[in-house]
Amino acid sequence: MLFPYSRGQGLVEYALLILLVGLIVIVLLAIFGAGVGNMFSHVITNI
């Protein structure tokens, strides 16, 4: 076996991927959060 610790590698890769997606969502919410909130407020008031 070339790399003896490659068995847990998949779990670490999935964890890093989930962390990256989470960071992207947080950044997008920080940038567009107020605009999206205002959009939903306008939709609710127009109903």
> Residue 4: its pLDDT value, please?
62
> Residue 24: its pLDDT value, please?
96
Residue 5 φ/ψ, nearest 5 degrees: -105, 20
Q: Kindly give the confidence (pLDDT) of every residue in the chain, 47 residues in length, as a single tens digit, with 9 standing for 90 and above.
A: 456 666 667 788 899 999 999 999 999 988 988 888 888 888 888 88
Side-chain half-sphere of 39: how many Cα atoms within 13 Å? Answer: 5
> Residue 12: its pLDDT value, please?
84
The percent of the chain in helix, strand and coil, each rounded to the nearest 5, is: 85, 0, 15
DSSP 8-class letter at 4: T
Local structure of 5: helix, strand or coil: coil
Q: What is the pTM of this model?
A: 0.60
> Residue 19: its pLDDT value, please?
96
**In the chain, where are the structural domains located?**
21-47
